[in-house]
């Protein structure tokens, strides 16, 4: 087995929440499902997401100067699949998913467990990906929602009995 296969298989052992990064670039809305999300700092509040340099999203975020991150709930697997599908183009309206414009007119997935709106703080290119660092300017959550998880290449849910 090649190192790439071992690397992918090993990363599949890391359970993550499922998030959608979205941007409003001059009235064009676009979003992507991402698994590479992390908190960076509390003061100032900074997060990071990793996006393929080959995708149009990093350039759109740079032009817009801001973006959003929606954390999907356990009932939003279809939204994750939609935003992970290749070949989509930016649109002027919400297409393929139910969304809404949040603070700073950034698109968020309607009914998401939580969302953040960020101003672009920095971009670092690393290998095939752009690390987009955002300074959080707005945060909202539904405290009763349960997360959609991704583990071993499949969607999972938290067992309510374990809560």
Q: What are the residue boundaries of the structural domains of the chain, listed by start? A: 17-151
Distance CA 10, CA 142 (A): 32
Percent of the chain scoring above 70 in pLDDT: 93
pLDDT computed for residue 66 by the predictor: 97
pLDDT single digits (tens) 90-129: 999 988 889 999 988 999 999 999 999 999 999 999 999 9
CATH superfamily of the 17-151 domain: Electron Transport, Fmn-binding Protein; Chain A (2.30.110.10)
Distance CA 49, CA 27 (A): 22
Going edge to edge, which strands form the sheet with 66-71? 28-34, 19-25, 66-71, 114-126, 129-141, 45-52, 37-42
pLDDT computed for residue 153 by the predictor: 76
Q: Are 20 and 69 in contact (CB under 8 A)?
A: yes
Return the SS3 of 9.
helix
Work out the number of other CB atoms within 10 angstroms of the CB of residue 62. Answer: 15
Residue 146: closest CA among 137, 156, 154 = 156
């Amino acid at each position: 087995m090649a190192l790439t296969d071992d690397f992918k298989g090993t990363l599949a052992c890391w359970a993550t929440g499922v998030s959608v990064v979205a941007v409003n670039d001059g009235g064009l809305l676009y979003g992507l499902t991402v698994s590479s999300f992390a908190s960076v700092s509390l003061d100032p509040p900074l997060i990071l997401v990793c996006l393929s340099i080959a995708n149009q999203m990093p350039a759109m975020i740079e032009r817009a100067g801001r973006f959003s991150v929606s954390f999907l709930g356990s009932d939003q697997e279809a939204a994750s699949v939609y935003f992970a599908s290749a070949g989509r183009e930016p649109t002027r309206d919400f297409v393929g998913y139910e969304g809404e414009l949040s603070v700073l007119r950034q698109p968020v997935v309607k009914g998401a467990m939580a969302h953040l709106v960020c101003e672009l703080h920095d971009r670092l290119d690393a290998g095939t990906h752009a690390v987009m660092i955002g300074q959080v300017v707005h945060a909202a959550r539904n405290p009763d929602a349960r997360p959609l998880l991704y583990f071993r290449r499949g969607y999972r849910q938290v067992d309510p009995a374990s809560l």
